[in-house]
């Protein structure tokens, strides 16, 4: 298996009460990608989530939205990766990022979990392997660590929501390049985007 990305995982929490919360930015991106590329996401109990497969640009790719809560995201990722013999290098995890302002999105490969519970569980389920790709969707920081939970589980302001979704649209536009293996070109375009 080449090191091309063949699985894109969006992180979020299931259920209507979480649908529009900042923590679900990963879900928003996968839903946008599915809609733009005509990929149907269907519940699959074996993979603990909503799963679809289709063509993004020139590449076949799996899309996955775990239906477990955020802190158990690794269950779905590990199940699908192991079934289809995917390595961490084949996986891109999309998640909300407190340390980036709304309207920005950044690629990153490897690294720790930075307190993000979904990443923490994925790293653990992949046998402490951190070498998967990440796409971090900026949601901004509330300024005080005691306000973080309410911030990530709250809805973004109208202005923030607009720029977060603009960054998601831009990320979806560059993903075909990333999937082809041109991560540098995808990064250059996305990292210069100002939402």
Summarize pLDDT for 36-57 with one digit per residue, the tens.
Answer: 999 999 999 999 999 999 999 9
Tokens of 16: 């209507």
Q: Which CATH number fits domain 7-191: 3.40.50.150, 3.40.50.1000, 3.40.50.1470, 3.40.50.300?
A: 3.40.50.1470
**Known catalytic residue: 133?**
no
Catalytic residue among 23, 48, 95, 133: 23
CA 105-127-55 angle, to 5 degrees, is 45
Instruction: Give the per-residue pLDDT at 3.
Output: 73
Return binding residues for tRNA.
18, 69, 71, 117
Contacts of 146 (CB under 8 A, 6+ apart): none
Check the CA dihedral 36-38-42-47 and report its sign. Answer: negative
What are the domain boundaries of the chain?
Answer: 7-191
Condensed to tens digits (0 to 9), the pLDDT of residues 150-187 reads 999 999 999 999 999 999 999 999 999 999 888 889 99
β-bridge mates for residue 8, sequence order? 63, 92
Condensed to tens digits (0 to 9), the pLDDT of residues 2-33 reads 578 999 999 999 999 999 999 999 999 999 99
The pLDDT of residue 69 is above 60 = yes
């Amino acid at each position: 298996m080449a090191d091309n990305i063949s699985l894109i995982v969006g992180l979020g929490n299931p259920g209507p009460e979480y649908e529009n919360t900042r923590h679900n930015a990963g879900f928003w991106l996968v839903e946008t990608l599915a809609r733009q590329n005509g990929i149907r996401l269907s519940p699959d109990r074996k993979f603990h989530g909503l799963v679809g497969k289709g063509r993004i640009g020139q590449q076949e790719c799996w899309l996955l939205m775990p239906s477990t809560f955020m802190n158990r995201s690794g269950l779905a990722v590990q199940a699908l990766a192991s079934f289809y013999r995917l390595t961490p290098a084949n996986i891109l995890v999309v998640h909300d990022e407190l340390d980036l302002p709304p309207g920005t999105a950044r690629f990153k490969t490897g690294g720790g979990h930075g307190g993000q519970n979904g990443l923490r569980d994925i790293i653990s389920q992949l046998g402490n392997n951190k070498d998967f790709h990440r796409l971090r969707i900026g949601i901004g920081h509330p300024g005080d660590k005691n306000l973080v939970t309410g911030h990530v589980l709250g809805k973004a302001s109208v202005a923030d929501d607009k720029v977060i979704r603009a960054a998601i649209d831009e990320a979806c536009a560059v993903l075909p390049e990333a999937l082809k293996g041109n991560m540098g070109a995808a990064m250059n375009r996305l990292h210069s985007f100002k939402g």
